[in-house]
Amino acid sequence: MINGIDGFFRYIPPRITRAIVALPLTMLEKVTEIRLRLDAPVSLTLGQKNIMLDKNGLPCSFKNAVCATKKEMAECLSLLSQGSLYTYDDTIKTGFIPIRDGGRAGVCGEAITQNGVLRGFKEIYSINLRLHRHIPMFAGELIRFFEREGLCGTLVYSPPAMGKTTFLRSAAFLLAEGKYIRPHRVGIVDERNEIFIRGMSDGLIDVVTNCPKSYGIELLCRTMSPEVIICDEIGAGEQDAVINAQNTGVHLIASAHGGSLDGLRRRPFINKMLEAGLFDAAVRLFADEKGFHCKIERMSAK
């Protein structure tokens, strides 16, 4: 398996798959997203780069790029939904289709709204398959930080596509397996089926999926007595449930989109959590030509 990409070919039409697999192995290993667009170029995300392919799998310009046809888009959606797209109405209206082996496919297009609320899509123009990879030691530096400084609430942040979910997955694995630190009971609230990969750990992990974070956090605290709760992409309206979890003595490791701590503090719902003392440490993820990296710092509420 090439870092998990092989499993995604089952959802991609053959013509497009042939172009992708023609890429050199060194490039395939770096692919994090595969995007199909209706009558527009198929593209791959490799770190901070975006490339398009011609029919022979060679990187090319817009003019020569492989474009997904309406039939191929429909085929991809059928494969993702196992032939029953209506089954995923509830997730499609929030912009994604969960992939049964873990991960998700983001979707967008001509929206159907009612009273200002998105109800679905009349036609889907783009499909973004986000590869779920398990890199066990990705969060190793954070676990060693916990070993030195003690376990604490931690906010993982970066712009999109910088590896936040992969980092959280690694942190869950290392904490539950007891790498560098004693094994901890880890609860994962996996609202969009992105963090947990079945079989990734034999450690002390309990997971709730397809559940809003606010309910999932409350459920885990009430029924599973976790020492750590891990969840992805904290959003507005979820801060009160997260703060309540802190009052039970559970440490939270969560992520948020942002380029800097100052920028995050300007978002009221995140600042409320910081002022409540929920996060004692922050992890900034970033990438360069050598790969993905993290910087850990202690922080205090302002």
- SS3 for 128-158 is EEECCCCCCCCCHHHHHHHHHHCCCCEEEEE
Q: How far apart are CA 260 and CA 197, in angstroms?
A: 29
Domain with CATH 3.40.50.300 in the chain: 140-298
pLDDT tier at 4, thresholds 50, 70, 90 = low
Instruction: Tell me the pLDDT band of 2, cut-offs 50, 70 and 90.
Output: very low
Quote the percentage of the chain above a pLDDT of 70. Answer: 95
| Average pLDDT over all residues of the chain | 88
Provide mean pLDDT across the span 20-41.
91
Asked whether 131 and 141 are in contact (CB, 8 A), the reply is no
pLDDT beyond 60 at 182: yes
Report the Cα 281 to chain-centroid distance in Å.
20
Handedness of CA 146, 159, 207, 201 (dihedral sign): negative
Q: Which whole number is the average pLDDT over 233-248?
A: 76
Given this model, what pLDDT does residue 175 score? Answer: 97
Instruction: Assess whether pLDDT exceeds 90 at residue 178.
Output: yes
Range of 166-180, 207-221, 262-276 with top mean pLDDT? 166-180
148: tokens are: 């030195």
Provide the pLDDT for residue 192: 79
Band of residue 246 on the pLDDT scale cut at 50, 70, 90 = low
Instruction: State the alpha helices, DSSP H only, in 158-278.
Output: 164-177, 213-223, 239-246, 261-265, 268-275
Does pLDDT of 133 surpass 80? no
Higher pLDDT, 302 or 57: 57
* % of the chain at pLDDT higher than 90: 52
For CATH 3.30.450, the residue range(s) in the chain are: 6-130
Which tokens belong to 198? Answer: 């079945």
Residue 92 CA to residue 70 CA, distance in Å, equals 18
Q: What confidence tier does 289 reach under pLDDT thresholds 50, 70, 90? A: low
What is the identity of the amino acid at 169? R
**291 pLDDT more than 80:** no
Tally of CB atoms within 10 A around 8:
20
If one looks up domain 6-130 in CATH, what number appears? 3.30.450
Examine the pLDDT at 3 and tell me if it is beyond 60.
no
| Residue 300: pLDDT over 70 | no
Class of domain 140-298: alpha beta
State the pLDDT confidence band at 227, using cuts at 50, 70 and 90: very high
More confident residue, 204 or 29: 204
In the predicted structure, residue 200 carries a pLDDT above the cut 80 = no
pLDDT of residue 1: 41
The stretch 87-110 carries a mean pLDDT of 84
What pLDDT, on a 0 to 100 scale, did the predictor assign at position 214?
Answer: 83
Give residue 174's pLDDT: 96
